[in-house]
Amino acid sequence: MDTSESRAKRIFTERAALYVTSDTHADPRVLARVVDLSAPEPDWAALDIATGTGHTAVALAPHVRVVIGTDLTPEMLRQAARLRAERSLVSVSFAVADSHHLPFPGDAFALVTCRRPAHHFSDIARALSEMRRVLRPHGRLVIDDRSVAEDDFIDACMNQLDRHHDESHVREYRPSEWKEMLAACGFLVEVVEPYRQHRPLTALTAGVSPENVARIHALLAALDANQRAALNLRDVDGAPHLDHWYVLISARCCP
């Protein structure tokens, strides 16, 4: 069966090397904010879910006792292991795991982070429930993911663009949806920080099939002036750029 997880595994195997140097995944400002919201303590065990090439796990490592990074794609973890070796970190380990079925006992971690994979999860409620299960009482969850504005056009357009960019994409959620989903899974949401980045169109077309690149260009070419303005779609130094929406969230397990 061609599930979202199997599509993600295939796509990220092909693109793993791109994520090592990805300006958005390696962004030091966002990584620093993730660490700040985590408020880590030296004796903590932390879990970084769908760690990809390990940027978040490596950023957390100096601040906690141990970090485990999981991912569905072995090739991503091979890239993460190289990054760990470059930083000479001994407190970080990696394991292949499905975010919907985490291979850890309950109450095992003081901190769970999940940075940029959630829009690929085929069952977001199941994944959040697993995060809740492995966190100890009052444990902290920090999420950083692609998002959309509380606007129907931006929601529909950005989700369609991302489906053309990556066929394993499921949904970029609005901040209001995140609050509802987390509350339903037993989390107390403490911080919600939406933010935007104005990025080149190549962020959506790099590594994408010619057919889907054509679909991305056709979708943007069909927009009217108001829609282009809503996306902040304009040329910068001769190259088209548009806004991408994200959200940072910090939450705790309800007692």
Per-residue confidence (pLDDT) for residue 26, from 0 to 100: 75
Secondary structure (3-state) at 160: helix
Describe the crossing of helices 124-134 and 175-184 by its angle, rounded to 10 degrees.
50
In a domain, 226, yes or no: no
Which of the four pLDDT bands, split at 50, 70 and 90, describes residue 255?
confident
Average pLDDT of span 119-126: 96
Whether pLDDT at 13 is above 80: no
Tally of domains in the chain: 1
Average pLDDT of span 165-190: 97
Whether pLDDT at 14 is above 60: no
The rounded mean pLDDT for the chain is 93
Q: Which residue in this structure is represented by tokens 């690149």?
A: 213
What percent of the chain is modeled with pLDDT above 90?
Answer: 85
Query: Shortest CA distance to 199 belongs to which of 11, 27, 17, 18?
Result: 27
In a domain, 206, yes or no: no
Which of the four pLDDT bands, split at 50, 70 and 90, describes residue 31?
very high
Whether pLDDT at 138 is above 80: yes
In a domain, 105, yes or no: yes
> Residue 57 sits in which domain range?
4-149+169-198+244-253
Cα–Cα distance, 117 to 169 (Å, whole number): 9
In a domain, 160, yes or no: no
Domain CATH code at residue 144? 3.40.50.150
Q: For 180-233, how does the pLDDT look when each residue is reduced to its tens digit (9 = 90+)? A: 999 999 999 999 999 999 999 999 998 899 999 999 999 999 999 999 999 999
Q: For 232-250, how does the pLDDT look when each residue is reduced to its tens digit (9 = 90+)? A: 999 999 999 999 999 999 9
Contact between 136 and 109 under an 8 Å Cβ cutoff? The reply is: yes
Whether pLDDT at 1 is above 50: no
Enter the pTM of the model: 0.91
Which of the four pLDDT bands, split at 50, 70 and 90, describes residue 18?
low
Q: For 70-108, how does the pLDDT look when each residue is reduced to its tens digit (9 = 90+)? A: 999 898 899 999 999 999 999 999 999 999 999 999 999
Pairing type for strands 45-49 and 109-115 reads parallel
In a domain, 8, yes or no: yes
